[in-house]
Amino acid sequence: MDGIEVSDRLWRLTLEHSPVGMTIVSPEGRFLAVNQALCRMLDRPSEVLLTLTFQEITHPDDLALDLELLATLLADKVPSYRMVKRFLRPDGEVVWGDLSVALVHDDDGSPLHLVSQVMDVTQQHDDRARLAETEARLDRQLRRAEAIFDSVDVGLVLIDADGRYESMNRHHEALMRVGYPDGHAGQAGQPGQVFGEDGRTPLTREDMPTWRAARGEEFDDLRIWIGVTAEERRALSVSARSVRDANGLFHGAALVYKDVTDYLRAMSVRDEFLSAVSHELRTPLTSVLGHLEIANELPDLPAAVAHRLAVIERNALRLDALVADLLEVARQREGRLSVTRTDVDLTDLVAQAVEAVRPAASLAGLSVVIEPQESLQAPVDPGRIRQVLDNLLSNAVKYSEPGGVVRIAVSPVDDEAILTIADEGLGIEEAELDRLFTRFFRGGEARSRQIPGTGLGLVLVRAFVEAHGGTVDLTSKAGVGTTVTVRLPL
């Protein structure tokens, strides 16, 4: 404190112990007195600071403004000034300080010295910079998300836990105008021009995708139709996912609506074409088979001709089976599959089916084993269940390798008949399992080994069993084997 006249001890104490940096500076800028807080902040001992001027420790970019403000102070235009500026530490580090400067005059009114206080605001400054950066990043992300939300060509909807629409993208707004020509109240479950997969049955509130999603249900590929006129009708495939917080509490749901109109129309054209073609094939094929029968009965057929006729007949029968499958699939698609039940002994049906497949099995080097079971009466359509058995046994044989065993069992469990057909064959890749019951689907192994088939067998098996009120399950492991379990209500 030497060199300055400060009489008041209290003032000295305040200066020394203040947490705020304090200094007395000559009008030219030389430090005349500094407190400990300032020394700590600038990382310089007082004896060093007292040899310096404030100009020397001010960041060059902030100096001009500081000097300009000082000039207005010295010219008595303002009583004090304040600025946030950067101070330089000896190691080159920057300290942000909130500086306020006042001018003390002597008795004649000329400038005597400057009294300055500096508060270290580096932390706040850094925090604010980080905050601004985070806000900018969030803003960028939000804009990006909004751009994606609005530009994707699927409808997107967010609903809250009470089923209120929180937001939807532009694509979905267009879909809403088709499904709700009279407007929508923004609440999940509002009935409108919205129909089930058949395109005819209006959806009730409880069937609406939004209603189900608002109840926490998650689903994929739920097919609905919207609109009434042929030009505006759209088929949509809807998926829903719940939105939950870190504690798993339900906050609402996100729904995605994908337009599958063209896909479904193409499918339906394909199915109609196949159904028409199979109908057309039926008549000439029946005629071929009829004439073959007559030809086979002709007396004195040369052996070579009889042999050729047998080949023709085998192939005509294969074609006939294929056409029959296609017609069944068409029937199933149109909901015209019927079952005529009578009481049948399932063990008899199994025995007959096994006898029918035995020639093919022994040709393939396989044995077929029936697990013993006493007679089991069931109210089923014998023709349909025979088709189920034939298809499953034929698959077990087709997709096995020589030496394998095919086991078939039927037994009553509670009020169901359980039929299992297990093979030790090629098995099915896990990735294919959920597509097996799709029309025309054929496994990779089936295609690469060129094992004949159409991809209709399992579809028909499921359709026939479900028409009986039963279920079909298939478990399989590639390279190990496949087991199909059919449950039929007794």
Q: What DSSP string runs through 67-82?
A: HHHHHHHHTTSSSEEE
For the CA atoms of 300, 303, 309, 315, the dihedral, rounded to the nearest 10 degrees, stands at 150
Please give the backbone phi and psi of residue 377, each rounded to the nearest 5 degrees, phi first: -80, 135
Residue 406 as a binder of ligand ADP (CB under 6 A): the answer is no
Q: Tell me how far, at minimum, the Cβ of 439 lies from ligand ADP, in Å.
A: 9
Residue 442 as a binder of ligand ADP (CB under 6 A): the answer is yes
Closest residue by Cα to residue 157 from 253, 250, 244, 258: 253
* Choice from 94, 453, 489, 490 touching ligand ADP (CB under 6 A): 453
How far apart, in Å, are the Cα atoms of 190 and each of 163, 203, 214, 312? 11, 9, 13, 61
CA atoms of 115 and 271, how far apart (whole Å): 93
* Choice from 454, 471, 489, 490 touching ligand ADP (CB under 6 A): 454
Please give the backbone phi and psi of residue 203, each rounded to the nearest 5 degrees, phi first: -80, 135
Reported as type and span, the H/E element at residue 348 is helix 346-363
Residue 237 as a binder of ligand ADP (CB under 6 A): the answer is no
Helix (H, G, I), strand (E, B) or coil at 238: strand
Residue 446 as a binder of ligand ADP (CB under 6 A): the answer is yes
Residue 31 as a binder of ligand ADP (CB under 6 A): the answer is no
Residue spans of alpha helices (H) in 399-456:
444-448
CA atoms of 441 and 287, how far apart (whole Å): 31
- Please, which residue, 183 or 479, has the CB nearer to ligand ADP? 479
Q: Tell me how far, at minimum, the Cβ of 397 lies from ligand ADP, in Å.
A: 9
Q: Tell me how far, at minimum, the Cβ of 394 lies from ligand ADP, in Å.
A: 8
Stretch that binds ligand ADP, among 228-236, 238-246, 303-311, 452-460 (CB under 6 A): 452-460
Residue 486 as a binder of ligand ADP (CB under 6 A): the answer is no
* Choice from 62, 120, 328, 423 touching ligand ADP (CB under 6 A): 423
Stretch that binds ligand ADP, among 21-29, 96-104, 314-322, 438-446 (CB under 6 A): 438-446
CA atoms of 297 and 295, how far apart (whole Å): 5
Q: Tell me how far, at minimum, the Cβ of 361 lies from ligand ADP, in Å.
A: 13
CA atoms of 17 and 39, how far apart (whole Å): 12
Assess contact for 106 and 112: CB atoms under 8 A: yes
Residue 404 as a binder of ligand ADP (CB under 6 A): the answer is no
Q: Tell me how far, at minimum, the Cβ of 477 lies from ligand ADP, in Å.
A: 10
Residues 367-396 that bind ligand ADP (CB under 6 A): 395-396
Residue 455 as a binder of ligand ADP (CB under 6 A): the answer is yes
Stretch that binds ligand ADP, among 187-195, 244-252, 256-264, 456-464 (CB under 6 A): 456-464
Closest residue by Cα to residue 401 from 368, 421, 422, 426: 426
Residue showing tokens 């905050």: 131
- Please, which residue, 175 or 456, has the CB nearer to ligand ADP? 456
Residue nearest to ligand ADP (CB): 443
Backbone Cα Rg of the chain: 44
Residue 457 as a binder of ligand ADP (CB under 6 A): the answer is yes
CA atoms of 53 and 1, how far apart (whole Å): 16
Closest residue by Cα to residue 159 from 139, 185, 182: 185
* Choice from 213, 443, 464, 488 touching ligand ADP (CB under 6 A): 443
* Choice from 25, 42, 366, 428 touching ligand ADP (CB under 6 A): 428
Please give the backbone phi and psi of residue 245, each rounded to the nearest 5 degrees, phi first: -85, -175
- Please, which residue, 285 or 460, has the CB nearer to ligand ADP? 460
* Choice from 96, 211, 399, 464 touching ligand ADP (CB under 6 A): 399
Binding site for ligand ADP (CB under 6 A): 395-396, 399, 423, 425-428, 436, 441-443, 445-446, 453-459, 482
